[in-house]
């Protein structure tokens, strides 16, 4: 009796354990899948573009001759773009977060703005491009210049900046604020000289991650009519400009016509990826270094 | 040394000055305390203004478009020929392209993302997790233009070795690459949902003799189902709005078909095509941009609201 009952059971247990072990391998493989694909992508881009990456490429002007083409114009374009995006998103992003976290009473207005920010974060970036095209390029008459691109990208990343700044403000221990009030400081004094300085590293982390999103963004800029084939360097926020993703886009599309363009696109991708990894790395470093140990 | 009493008149006036000065400072501070919140409120309402701006622009320009193209023809038309002598504006080819590419993406990212989430949440040791999670975050940080380059110059040629009938621009390859792109999103959101399942439920299941797999599939996944479904919906919504991968790798043929080896155009890629050409402002082609963008905006907004609702409504309360 015991024997007959045990034998099917033990084979069933063996099967269940086997299923568990194989599932673990399969799930682990799934977790590695994305990383493997990323490895292939990196190897592919490096093998295509590394030999084209030179000082001349980094400092050269745009050219239709692949051997003479450079990306300095796009790098300067990104620089000027950030000159618009950084101040706008920092001011509006931190300001909104301070209002929502520290000033607004837990009322309807706050819920409304908060829901609205959540929904904005899910709007496809190309729709922001259409907003920018209609408002900044056409209605306000800026044209396809740095200011129009910068304001459009600012609106795009603002929800991310606001939400991460809110989290940073929320993580400041409230005893700090209470102590400041107890010393007779007013609300704004407390925010300005106690709460904001403590929250600043986390706010910056979130802001840097959002900025790296803006630097890698292409779709809204295409809609704004930002050119990829630009010879003069931009010298200010009212100049026409181009950025790395735009150059990669056009080089990829025209790779069917000029085979070497694929190498240029790969080389430009290497530069873009390295700068984004450095940015994200510095954000993570900042987060780890200044995290408040509560 | 002068006694304080001797200089009484002058010190009197200086104290008065001091008091006045202090009052000025106080009233200045009071003004700041009143005006700062108002200013910050203005900044915070900018995001509402953005939404209102998007809505107004899309609606008014789309209405302008529907004056020339009847709204019913637009939403039921299967032919899209914006630049032909006899133009036709039916959005269905674009809807088809969008649905097919997003469908392929979720078929890739759904199972893989979910399995990765189960691994991270149920199997991985703390050390493995601390390496895998940032690596997945890096994957999410790759710009979509780089994914587009990868799809067009690597994935498509690779696939053509197995599927000879695959066109140089097709919807399959960008769909697959979009799937890879949204894996981190689905994995991370699903993992969050699974980790919020109380440990006691796992322990109860283990005490009844379940293996980890049985606990994961029969206890943790069902308990976290609302969050998992929400992550899928958000993933699809992200794929619907993705632009550069499809704009590069799926071409611009406005085919109304189910054949994934053919070139198809998504709503986003259509917007890119129209805006990078020179459609004169005021032309029907130009206005069609807004009608398509409005459809895209409405679809993704509905999906995002749906995801939020699922996550809230069906959340198990412990």
Cα Dmax for chain B: 107
Cβ contact A239:A150 at 8 Å: no
Domain segments of chain B as ranges: 1-68, 80-313
What's residue B315's pLDDT?
62
* Nearest partner of B178 among B81, B245, B230, judged by Cα: B245
Instruction: Please tell me whether residues A120 and A77 are part of one structural domain.
Output: yes
In this structure, what token pair is assigned to residue B318? Answer: 């412990």
Number of domains in chain A: 2
pLDDT in tens, chain A (294 residues): 445 555 567 888 889 999 999 999 999 999 999 899 999 999 999 998 888 888 888 887 777 777 778 888 889 999 999 999 999 999 999 999 999 999 887 788 888 999 999 999 999 999 999 999 999 988 898 888 899 999 999 999 999 999 999 999 999 998 999 999 999 898 999 999 999 999 998 899 899 999 999 999 999 999 998 887 767 888 888 888 889 999 999 889 888 788 888 899 999 999 999 999 899 888 878 877 776 544
Instruction: Please tell me whether residues A39 and A134 are part of one structural domain.
Output: no
Which CATH code is given to the segment(s) B80-313? 1.10.3720.10
Instruction: Please tell me whether residues A18 and A113 are part of one structural domain.
Output: no
Instruction: Please tell me whether residues A136 and A207 are part of one structural domain.
Output: yes
Between strands B88-89 and B80-81, the pairing is antiparallel
Instruction: Please tell me whether residues A48 and A63 are part of one structural domain.
Output: no
Asked if A34 and B116 come within 8 Å (Cβ–Cβ), the reply is: yes
What is the per-residue pLDDT across B164-196, written as a single tens digit (0 to 9) for each? 888 888 899 999 999 999 999 999 999 999 999
Please report, for chain A, how many H helices and E strands are present, in that order. Answer: 12, 0
Instruction: Please tell me whether residues A275 and A255 are part of one structural domain.
Output: yes
What's residue B31's pLDDT?
86
Q: H or E segment at B221?
A: helix B221-223
- Among A14, A27, A39, A288, which would you mutate to test the B interface (most chain B Cβ atoms within 10 Å of its Cβ)? A27
Look up the CATH number of the domain holding residue A86. Answer: 1.10.3720.10
Rounded distance, CA B76 to CA B91, Å? 7
Q: What is the ipTM of this complex?
A: 0.89
What is the per-residue pLDDT across B18-67, written as a single tens digit (0 to 9) for each? 888 888 777 888 888 889 989 999 999 999 999 999 999 999 999 989 99
Token match 């799937």: residue? B179
Confidence of residue B136 (pLDDT cuts 50, 70, 90): confident
Rounded distance, CA A281 to CA A259, Å? 34
Does A125 reach chain B within 8 Å, measured CB to CB?
Answer: yes
Nearest CA distance, A101 vs chain B (angstrom):
11
Cα Dmax for chain A: 91
Q: Residue B47 is nearest to which of A117, A219, A245, comparing CB atoms?
A: A117
Instruction: Please tell me whether residues A144 and A181 are part of one structural domain.
Output: yes
Q: Residue A255 is nearest to which of B153, B268, B303, comparing CB atoms?
A: B153
Given a cut of 70, whether residue B120 has pLDDT beyond it is: yes
Note down the domain range covering A62.
Answer: 58-290
DSSP-derived 3-state class of residue B230: helix
E strands present in chain B: 80-81, 88-89
The average confidence (pLDDT) of chain B is 88
Predicted TM-score (pTM) of this structure: 0.89
Instruction: Please tell me whether residues A41 and A132 are part of one structural domain.
Output: no
- Angle between helix A261-290 and B126-141 (nearest 10): 130
DSSP-derived 3-state class of residue A192: helix
**Under 8 Å CB-to-CB from A291, ≥6 apart: which residues?**
A201, A202
Instruction: Please tell me whether residues A174 and A276 are part of one structural domain.
Output: yes
Helix ranges (H only) for A99-243 are 108-121, 125-132, 146-170, 174-182, 187-190, 196-216, 219-224
Q: What is the DSSP string of A17-64?
A: HHHHHHHHHHHHHHHHHHHHHHHHHHHHHHHHHGGG--HHHHHPPP-S
């Amino acid at each position: 009796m015991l024997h007959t009952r045990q034998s099917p059971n033990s084979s069933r247990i063996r099967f269940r354990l086997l299923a568990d072990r194989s599932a673990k391998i399969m799930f682990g493989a799934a977790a590695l899948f994305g990383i493997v694909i990323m490895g292939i992508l990196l190897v592919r881009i490096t093998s295509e573009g590394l030999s084209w990456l030179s000082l001349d490429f980094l400092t050269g002007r745009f050219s239709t001759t692949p051997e003479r083409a450079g990306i300095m114009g796009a790098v300067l374009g990104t620089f000027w773009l950030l000159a618009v995006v950084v101040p706008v998103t920092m001011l509006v992003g931190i300001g909104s977060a301070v209002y929502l976290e520290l000033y607004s009473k837990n009322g309807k207005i706050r819920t409304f703005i908060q829901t609205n920010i959540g929904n904005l974060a899910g709007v496809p970036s190309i729709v922001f491009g259409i907003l920018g095209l209609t408002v900044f390029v056409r209605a306000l008459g800026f044209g396809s210049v740095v200011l129009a691109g910068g304001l459009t990208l600012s609106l795009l990343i603002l929800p991310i900046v606001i939400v991460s700044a809110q989290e940073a403000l929320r993580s400041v221990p409230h005893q700090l604020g209470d102590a400041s009030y107890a010393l007779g400081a007013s609300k704004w004094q407390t925010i300005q000289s106690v709460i904001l300085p403590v929250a600043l590293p986390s706010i910056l982390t979130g802001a840097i991650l959002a900025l790296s999103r803006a630097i890698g963004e292409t779709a809204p800029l295409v809609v704004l009519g930002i050119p990829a084939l630009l010879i003069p360097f931009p010298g200010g926020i009212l100049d026409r400009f181009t950025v790395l993703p735009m150059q990669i886009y056009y080089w990829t599309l025209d790779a069917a016509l000029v085979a070497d363009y694929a190498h240029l696109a790969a080389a430009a991708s290497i530069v873009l990826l390295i700068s984004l990894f450095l940015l994200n790395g510095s954000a993570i470093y900042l987060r780890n270094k200044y995290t408040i140990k509560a | 040394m002068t006694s304080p009493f001797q200089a009484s008149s002058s010190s009197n006036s200086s104290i008065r000055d001091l008091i006045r000065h202090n009052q000025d400072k106080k009233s200045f501070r009071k003004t700041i305390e009143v005006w700062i919140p108002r200013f910050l409120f203005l900044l915070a309402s900018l995001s509402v203004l953005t939404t209102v701006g998007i809505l107004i622009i899309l609606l008014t320009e789309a209405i302008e478009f529907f004056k020339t193209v009847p709204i019913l023809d637009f939403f039921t038309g299967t032919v899209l020929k914006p630049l032909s002598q006899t133009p036709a504006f039916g959005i269905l080819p674009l809807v088809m392209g969008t649905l097919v590419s997003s469908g392929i993406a979720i078929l890739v990212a759904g199972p893989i993302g979910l399995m990765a989430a189960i691994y991270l949440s149920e199997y991985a040791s703390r050390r493995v997790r601390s390496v895998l999670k940032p690596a997945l975050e890096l994957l999410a940080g790759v710009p979509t233009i780089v994914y587009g380059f990868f799809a067009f110059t690597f994935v498509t040629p690779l696939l053509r070795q197995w599927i000879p009938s695959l066109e140089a621009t097709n919807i399959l390859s960008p769909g697959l690459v979009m799937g890879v792109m949204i894996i981190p999103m689905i994995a991370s959101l699903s993992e969050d949902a699974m980790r919020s399942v109380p440990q006691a439920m796992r322990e109860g299941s283990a005490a009844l003799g379940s293996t980890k797999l049985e606990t994961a599939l029969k206890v943790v996944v069902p308990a976290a189902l609302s969050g998992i479904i929400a992550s899928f919906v958000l993933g699809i919504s992200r794929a619907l709005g993705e632009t550069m991968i499809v704009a590069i790798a799926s071409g611009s043929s406005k085919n109304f078909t189910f054949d994934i080896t053919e070139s198809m155009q998504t709503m986003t890629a259509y917007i890119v095509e129209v805006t990078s050409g020179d459609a004169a402002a005021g032309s029907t082609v130009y206005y069609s941009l807004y009608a398509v963008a409005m459809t895209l905006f409405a679809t993704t907004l509905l999906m995002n609201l749906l995801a939020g609702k699922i996550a809230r409504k069906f959340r198990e309360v412990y």
